[in-house]
A and B are shown apart, each in its own frame.
Chain A
């Protein structure tokens, strides 16, 4: 589904040039759950941002089901993103002024889904995430785990082909962290492709494949046999 070739990204400040991605090649199949790991500053978040069309690389190619995405303009990128991708962040990034329901509804609004259907879809996902009695609350009134469930619900409500997760358990305790990981696994089992950046090998163990980055290079790739076997 995803074919990334020779991706390069350089950050320039007044004095220093930092190469964040240095000729990355990466293929992700449809329905796969891929973890990207590596030390701080290895370029894993940059890679995720490029995959999510939030950042532009200097050179290389990024094909999504045979469509080259790096040649798109800002508007086309926005359109592509909202139709095909969902995001989960470490710090949840819910809008404080909107309730749980409204936060989850937001991507549907941008996708011009009619109001009646929006209500149905949101209620459905709220039920699935087990946060029905929280739908009128504001984010500050929820625990970290609950906030991340809302964020996951928001990422899934549009039924995206690809979910990008940036350290989704980074701000959670282990119980809540596990809950979120199980949620992602369930999602993956229904056919959604997931790419997750993480520091935690425990979290990575939930995925099919683990890619290790260092200084902007892919240094190793490991098939997670346990999980793959489990799947088989």
Chain B
């Protein structure tokens, strides 16, 4: 019987090969999108999952009144381990803060990702150098390992795992060190690195004032984490009061700790951005929607073709087939199509993967056994077969033989409504994506055209390891740089626009608040062309500027409510700064974050290292100036020596837009996909409907209907479907896009045009699709249709 059913199925599919191709093709496209989303979701949710203690590892974070952070004081790790028996182990890690140059002869490695970890942390985080984890002992305080890739750069011919001597910094620096071996850098981990430095103990002389490390703890299984969290908070508050950090009781009360599971760290860290999580959710919803739309095509077309199969069902029932046999037969047919679609989808996914990996910065492969596809795919295949097939299978197998064999057959009103309902749903989703795409485009256009308040063009950022906190130290460097033709200005600061600023506590106008700080040198504002609102900028004509002068932005003036800021005092880091100027707000953090109140000072003992050199260079002399800088850099900045490296500031700042551009690409793909699949469905459905109305069209033509009237007749119901779909989608698209726009501090007004355009596009596509089908009916000879009937 199976063989015979298979024959019927194959012959049927072949007979309706256009519709079959549309059905299978549409589903394959949707499935390939879904496969990519599934692989992405599996990848994103399984960072560090290979760690045997995955479920018991937490990172200790601190909640301050204004923000959360993973940076905490080194001695706290020991305190946690000593006080709580449920904590099996506690360790410290720290990511490299500036770029390091490592050399072996002519081979140079630039790296800012040297992870420092103590032995405990290395054990907790499963950091295993090739040849095993060794605890540094005796005189050896640290063992440094380089990733296999880094090792290859420095020692291309190295085959063994023996220690090697390398140089740090410029070749004339004279600093050398030992690399103990190599280590595999796991890209599927929260802790990636070019190298790792394992210490016996980290932060030995640190106190509670210095929040430089991240603490990882491994707790015993079945530990009550909420209780432990509270106990750790109590301990932290007690330690802060005991220490010399100088915190008052009321200040300490506002500080608490939290334990963030290792499993949260990648997607939704408590102290950080949960955007990757949101992207994942959005992508998953998208994948499911696309798949549902394609499944709907199946359901719709299978019901549409029911009339053609009615006789077969009737005959089989007369000959003694049970209903469940027929249901199974139709399900198997749909399964076969779904199976073919899955194979096609895998091929499509493989073709698209390189672009996908590029867009999402992932390393996905269909051929990795641990990507979960081996169980997800059969499951999905089963589910879509059921979703797409069960309703048509029930309808088909439910035909009454006495009725259908007489030819008195018409699909019921119920399935008519269902089919139209499904078409409306498909188009509604497509309309939402079209509107979304237009609005994302408008916002991105606005972001690229809107005045940022500063100019990143022709600003070159030089990577440097010399610390220029004292302006006197930077002055000779600036002098030498400015001698190069084309360089207009040079400055150095702790942070560059587009990066993250520091935060410190400042008091002004009787108000105490944590605000952003940037430690700068002369010509900072001039280099970035930041506009002055009142007062003046830093100048070496005023000696006090290097002692206690401050420039603040408009937001800081607003935050402290200072009426006439020039000449007033703002206190921080035990210094009373005199406000000498107010600059206009500029968007250092892109468009999502509101401009933060910020203070700019030259002297700031509590700040960071001024290492970020920025130069403004004339566009016409850019190449020449950069060549000169490269050749002269070893004399300009001895510590960096021959290693001159630079980046254009506008490129760095542009990275802030990467996420939005990613979203734009996703929406573009989704809009095209949903439209494509919906139009495929419509095409096949229109073909079916037109064929079913051939007799009616023939009669109408004989009675004198014009071609236009017939085209209109066939288009009317589809036109109504698309209009209804638009009406349903508009409020939904409005709410969703409004929510998205609200994630921007600086955004466009909600435009109306995308809504009108989505209607225009869907209506045009529908009329074209239906008319292509209707054209055949219009052109045919009515006599043929009637004879056929």
Which residues of A does B touch, CB under 8 Å?
45, 49, 52, 54-55, 74-75, 78-79, 81-83, 87, 89, 91, 93-98, 102, 105-107, 109-111, 154
Contacts and interface: CB of A to CB of B under 8 A. Distances in A.
A79 B320 CA distance: 6
B465 to A, nearest CB: 78
Best-buried of A52, A83, A89, A110 by chain B (most CB within 10 Å): A110
Interface of B: 1, 4, 7-8, 11-12, 15, 311-312, 314-323, 400-402, 405-407
B4 A102 contact: yes
Given A97-B7, A97-B8, A105-B4, A49 B316 contact: no
B7 A98 contact: yes
Contact of A97 (B12, B317, B319, B405): B12
A107 B401 CA distance: 15
Given A74-B323, A93-B311, A109-B1, A98 B401 contact: no
The list of the 9 closest CB pairs from A to B, nearest first, reads A82-B320, A97-B11, A110-B320, A54-B402, A107-B319, A49-B402, A97-B8, A55-B402, A109-B1
A170 to B, nearest CB: 12
Best-buried of B11, B319, B323 by chain A (most CB within 10 Å): B319
A54 B320 CA distance: 11
Nearest to B311: A93
A38 to B, nearest CB: 17
Contact of B320 (A78, A94, A96, A97): A78
Contacts of B317: 54, 78
23 contacts: A45-B406, A54-B401, A55-B402, A74-B322, A78-B320, A78-B322, A79-B320, A81-B320, A83-B320, A93-B405, A94-B315, A95-B8, A96-B311, A96-B312, A97-B7, A98-B7, A98-B8, A106-B315, A106-B316, A107-B319, A109-B4, A110-B321, A154-B319
A77 B319 CA distance: 11
Contacts of A95: 8, 311-312, 315-316
Contacts of B7: 97-98, 102
Contacts of B407: 91
Nearest to A94: B315
Contacts of A105: 4
Best-buried of B311, B315, B316 by chain A (most CB within 10 Å): B315
Given A54-B401, A93-B311, A98-B8, A87 B323 contact: no
Given A82-B320, A97-B11, A106 B314 contact: no
Contacts of A74: 322-323
Best-buried of A52, A107, A154 by chain B (most CB within 10 Å): A107
Contacts of B318: 52, 54, 81, 87, 93
* Interface residues of chain B: helix, strand, loop or mixed (majority): helix
Contacts of B405: 89, 91, 93
A161 B101 CA distance: 97
Given A49-B402, A89-B405, A109-B4, 19 more contacts: A54-B402, A55-B400, A74-B323, A81-B318, A83-B320, A87-B319, A93-B318, A93-B405, A94-B315, A96-B311, A97-B7, A97-B8, A97-B11, A97-B12, A98-B4, A102-B7, A110-B320, A110-B321, A154-B319
Contacts of B400: 54-55
Contacts of B316: 95, 106, 110
B319 A82 contact: yes
Nearest to A89: B405
Nearest to A75: B322
A147 to B, nearest CB: 13
A47 B67 CA distance: 84
Contacts of B1: 109-110
A172 B4 CA distance: 29
Nearest to A102: B4
Contacts of A98: 4, 7-8, 11
A106 B406 CA distance: 20
A52 B320 CA distance: 11
Best-buried of B314, B400, B406 by chain A (most CB within 10 Å): B406
Nearest to A107: B319
B4 A93 contact: no
Contact of A106 (B12, B311, B319): B319
A102 B1 CA distance: 11
Contacts of B314: 93
A64 B402 CA distance: 20
A218 to B, nearest CB: 21
A78 to B, nearest CB: 5
Nearest to B5: A109
B314 to A, nearest CB: 7
Given A89-B405, A109-B1, A109-B4, A97 B321 contact: no
A91 B323 CA distance: 23
Contacts of A93: 311, 314-315, 318, 405
A49 B401 CA distance: 9
B315 A78 contact: no
A155 to B, nearest CB: 9
A81 B8 CA distance: 23
B320 A107 contact: yes
A52 B405 CA distance: 13
A152 to B, nearest CB: 14
A83 B320 CA distance: 8
Contacts of A154: 319
A89 B406 CA distance: 9
Contacts of A52: 318
Contacts of B312: 95-97
A109 B6 CA distance: 14
Nearest to B314: A93
Contact of A111 (B12, B15, B320): B320
A102 B10 CA distance: 15
Contacts of A94: 315
Contacts of A54: 317-318, 400-402
A105 B5 CA distance: 12
Contacts of B12: 97
Nearest to B13: A97
Contacts of A89: 405
B402 A97 contact: no
A74 B401 CA distance: 13
A216 B675 CA distance: 56
Nearest to A138: B11
A186 B772 CA distance: 55
Contacts of B320: 78-79, 81-83, 107, 110-111
Contacts of B15: 97
A110 B319 contact: yes
